[in-house]
Amino acid sequence: MFRRLQTLLQRKFKIVLFFLLLLALLLHMGLDLVLTAAPSSCKCTPKGASPVGLPPPSPLVSVTKKLSLRILQDFSGSNGSLETGSPSVEGRPRTNGGSKAVLRDQNSTHQWAGRKPAWSGRSKMAALFEHPLYKIPIPEMTEKDKLFSVNSKEKFTVKSSGSNEWVSSSKAEMVLPTGKTPYDTYPTWLRFHISINRYELYPRQDTITRILLEELATQKIIGSVQKPGGTQLKLIMSFPNYGEALFKPMKQTRDQETPADFFYFSDFERHNAEIAAFHLDRILDFRRIPPVSGRLVNITKEIRDITSDKKLARTFFISPASNICFFGECSYYCSTEHALCGKPDQLEGSMAAFLPEKELAKRHSWRSPWRRSYHKSKKAEWELNQNYCAQVRKTPPYDSGSRLLDLIDMTVLDFLMGNMDRHHYETFEKFGNNTFLLHLDNGRGFGRHSHDEMSILAPLQQCCSIKKSTYLRLQLLSTEPYRLSDVMRESLASDRLSPVLAEPHLKALDRRLQRVLDMVQGCMAKGGQKEVLVDDIGNPWIYCWWGEGDSLEGK
């Protein structure tokens, strides 16, 4: 009797449990239907509103906007990432930069603040590089706009003697037996050099840069000598394909801040700052820093045992902790007290791709008008004269073209990474004054995440001018779907020394970005938008990507 009662209770319990699960499923489906049918609470801009002072689009353009935006979202949602091996930032803590909302000019409200992209939770970097602001085409190039004129019949080959040399077209067929063209025989570093033109150091989306970064991190090192000159130790590394790279060894850990009492000109040059500067420069779409990759180097096998530099060889020693150390010869930090030591012989460093030899592609070095005094007590003229920019505007080459605006671009880059050591910059002589600036030597960036050095922004503050494309990208990078710290974190994750930057440095990027935007807003409040934002886009088609819901009201 007891067993029959127990069986009956078990059956009833199963039936009740089944009905409870069925009821929960029906409630869940009902809630989904109600939420789908509910009206959207998104506040969209009126139909007559237009971004950054542009005239309102026609009805036909509005339809194109919506269609193009949907295509962009669908494509980005399935693309993942433009960088092979870059992990998603999904699940990582979001950084808000700690900045408060600012009062914005009514005619320059934020175009992307309210957008909820289809790629939410996926690759922000892929979404960023698919944005129309990163699709602005460069002008059509002629032969004079290319750094090198290449003979398509020449090929790079390895002879049986083991030496690499150029072979003339009389000895090489136009198409190789494998079906490849002679260009396919060029090493990656040479393809990088060939791609340089008047408008960019490397294209936005190409495989050459990615391959070159991988080679810098993995290719066999066959030679190592100290780079002559300079204030701190740097090595020139040679590869089997005649390529070379500049190696800057690790001098301090990622969580160390530069002491507040250090003068900018006596600060360390940081290997991770060189790596991060390249990624930041690319994210800002400047593309004016040669590719830089992190690498773990064996001091014994890849430096000491293969160096032909006798002065460098004399500085190697074994520390009391049985680690291999060396210090080289330079103006600063080249002594036993500042030796570079492995663990026991493994040492981190940055590997930067070399630009073409100056004999082949001459470069002109320009002294920055906002150069610091490099004196412990003396100030530069721009620090004493707030009207200094008016003087600069009358001085060639800043009196015409885009040179002053390009220098302000460089100022924004330096402020974001806290680099005070920008005394000179370079350009390729072939292109005259109408070309981009090379952003070289960035090792003194990312030293203090707790301090924002506002004096770096003196050119922007005093001139109150900035490219419209730069300003719009900065606005874009201040919004949640494209947050600068998140994109940087994702981009740097592809490097072999990841994590390259400590989290406080990534958060500082968002805070400093907001300060740049605040300064531009202040300029526009005083001088007007048209006087401050210099239109360098000149392609109306880019605005066809903006939909009616893409209002630029505050974040």
CB atoms within 10 A of CB 331: 10
Q: Is 421 a catalytic residue?
A: yes
> Does the annotation place 536 within a ligand binding site?
no
> Does the annotation place 255 within a ligand binding site?
no
SS (H, E, C) 430-478: HHCCCCCCECCCCCCCCCCCCCCCHHHHHHHHHHCCEEHHHHHHHHHCC
> Does the annotation place 33 within a ligand binding site?
no
Report the amino acid identity of residue 10: Q
Take residue 122 and report the two structure tokens written for it. 């996926």
DSSP codes joined into one string, 180-199: --GGGGS-HHHHHHHH-BSS
Measured CA to CA in angstroms, residue 442 lies from 204, 221, 391, 417 at distances of 21, 24, 28, 9
> Does the annotation place 269 within a ligand binding site?
yes
> Does the annotation place 409 within a ligand binding site?
no
> Does the annotation place 286 within a ligand binding site?
no
> Does the annotation place 426 within a ligand binding site?
yes
Strands in 173-262 per DSSP E: 223-226, 235-238, 244-249
Degrees to nearest 5, angle at CA 378 with 377 and 381:
150
Element counts in the chain: helices (H) and strands (E) = 16, 14
User: CB–CB of 457/519 below 8 Å?
Assistant: yes
> Does the annotation place 227 within a ligand binding site?
no
> Does the annotation place 354 within a ligand binding site?
yes
Contacts of range 305-314, beta carbons closer than 8 Å, 24 or more positions apart: 306/221, 306/222, 306/223, 306/224, 307/223, 307/224, 307/225, 308/223, 308/225, 309/224, 309/225, 309/226, 311/226, 312/224, 312/225, 312/226, 312/235
**Catalytic pick among 285, 345, 406, 421:** 421
Among residues 104, 136, 130, 53, the alpha carbon closest in space to that of 536 is found at 136
Annotated binding site for Mn(2+): 269, 441
Annotated binding site: 232, 248, 269, 352-355, 426, 441
Annotated binding site for ATP: 232, 248, 269, 352-355, 426, 441
The residues that are catalytic are 421
